[in-house]
Amino acid sequence: MRNAFSFWRKESVRSLTYQWAVVVALIYGLYWIYDTATTNMARLGLKTGFDFLTDEAGFPISPALIDYSPKSTYAEAMIVTLLNTITLSGIAIVFATLLGFFIALSKLSPNLLLRKFGNCYVEIFRNVPLLLQLFFWYFAALKMLPGKRASINFFDVAFLNIEGFFVPLPVLQEGGDIVVLSLLVGLCVSIVIWIWARFRQRNTGQPFPAFSVGIGLVILVPFFTAWVLDFPIGWEIPKFGRFNFNGGTSLEPEFTAMLFGLTLYNAAFIGEIIRAGILSVDKGQKEAAMSIGFSQMQAYSQVIVPQALRFIIPPITNQYLNLAKSTALAAAIGYADFFWAMDGAIAPQTGQVMELQAITLAGYLGISLFIAMLMAIYNQFSKIPER
């Protein structure tokens, strides 16, 4: 008995016992919730399971990045709308980051006009609810555009109207796949150079303009490849027929409103995060960089921003996650995103609420974990080199 009590007195034993007790209680709680839900649904005559995923969806989805028709299955409808959500999130993250960086530099600029512009931008877009901004861009801006016959003409190659923004569509001709391959090669080589530059700076302390070289490779390699092949890329120009535009492609008003709203709203927060990160770096670092002949741009790109990243990346990751989850508001203006499909289209037809909620949670969780993983990898490579 004394040996048993002495064994229990060990802190590690008690800690493991409490942790396993919590895990068992959590598993039992989840099982109880599932059992209660399935029992009540069976009592009400509601079927459970995921067999409905192979049934015909019966509703259209636009835009669709892969082949889809109303005769496709519910599973295919989920994939299409999930791709729409991922596409919208990715484009909005890129645009919001670029605009946020500009806003941060504007607020730090000695130019009075730029500084006041940055302050006004942040105060306006940060303090207006996102849903209200989406309504403004969709109902007050895009829905007030003229009809198709009175479209706003941009040099006879692009047309803006209430149905969307019709733009030329690039068409790959013979040899066009080689140009695309050269673009991918330039991108991969740029990433390799960026990683090599980080290790080189860590070992020697000498910086390398990896960003400029990478941009040059991504632009020049496919350009010269296309030039050698006599530019095997054509353009399909949209033209108005009897009732609608033919050719080209279009950005639908719902997608445009979501992109505008997410970009402008989140750029205000991202700008403040970047500004705070830059201000966290001692001003002596900038003075030291300027004293050895660095230009202001070089001082920011080579000295200030690399040191500020350790303060910027964690909060900006949270903002990216918030942006991706905010795409669920797309259902309010009818954009066919993942949440719209689950809650507004599939649930009323099937009644499989519990299963659909589980799939929805798994989908948004997967998107969030993927963004967090990418930012963690970037954070690992952007650490300040140790001498």
What is the pLDDT, as a whole number, of residue 89?
Answer: 95
How high is the pLDDT of residue 6? Answer: 61
What's the 3-state SS for 214-266? HHHHHHHHHHHHHHHCCCCEEEECCEECCCCEECCEEECHHHHHHHHHHHHHH
Residue 10, pLDDT > 80, answer no
pLDDT in tens, 17-70: 888 899 999 999 988 887 887 787 777 766 677 788 888 888 888 888 888 888
CATH number of 74-168+237-381: 1.10.3720.10
For residue 221, what pLDDT is reported? 87
Considering the entire predicted model, what is its pTM?
0.82
Q: What is the mean pLDDT of residues 357-363?
A: 90
Largest CA distance in the chain: 94
Across the chain, mean pLDDT equals 85
Half-sphere exposure of 250 (CA within 13 A, CB side): 21
Return the minimum-mean-pLDDT range out of 76-85, 310-319, 344-353.
Answer: 344-353
Residue 314: Cβ within 10 Å count: 14
pLDDT exceeds cutoff 60 at 133? yes
- Residue 11's pLDDT band (boundaries 50, 70, 90)? low
Measure the CA–CA gap between 132 and 147, rounded to whole angstroms.
Answer: 25
Average pLDDT over residues 112-130: 93
**Which residue in this structure is represented by tokens 């989406």?**
134
The yes-or-no verdict on residue 385 having pLDDT over 60 is: no
Percent of the chain with pLDDT over 90: 32
Give phi and psi for 279, each to the nearest 5: -70, -20
Model confidence at 275, in pLDDT bands (50, 70, 90)? very high
Instruction: State the amino acid at position 205 in one-letter form.
Output: G
Q: What is the pLDDT averaged over residues 209-229? A: 84
> Which segment, 10-19, 232-241, 332-341, is predicted with the most confidence on average?
332-341
Span 220-247, average pLDDT = 83
Residue 247 scores a pLDDT above 90: no
pLDDT for position 193: 86
Quickly tell me which residue has 């599932």 as its tokens.
34
The DSSP output letter for 158 is E
pLDDT digits (tens, 9 = 90+) for 82-114: 999 999 999 999 999 999 999 998 998 888 999
Q: Is the pLDDT of residue 118 over 90?
A: yes
pLDDT, residue 46, reads 66
pLDDT band at 322 (very low <50, low <70, confident <90, very high): very high
Segment 353-359 shows an average pLDDT of 85
Task: Tell me the two tokens of residue 123.
Answer: 């105060």
Domain extents in the chain: 2-38, 74-168+237-381
Write the pLDDT tens digit of every residue in 38-50. 787 777 766 677 7
**pLDDT at 13 > cutoff 70:** no
Q: Between the CA of residue 248 and those of 195, 236, 237, 336, what are the distances in Å?
A: 39, 5, 5, 21
> 237-251, 276-290, 293-307: which range is least confident on average?
293-307
Ranges 24-28, 132-136, 354-358: which has the least confidence: 354-358
Mean pLDDT, residues 128-157 taken together: 88
Of residues 328 and 35, more confidence is placed in 328
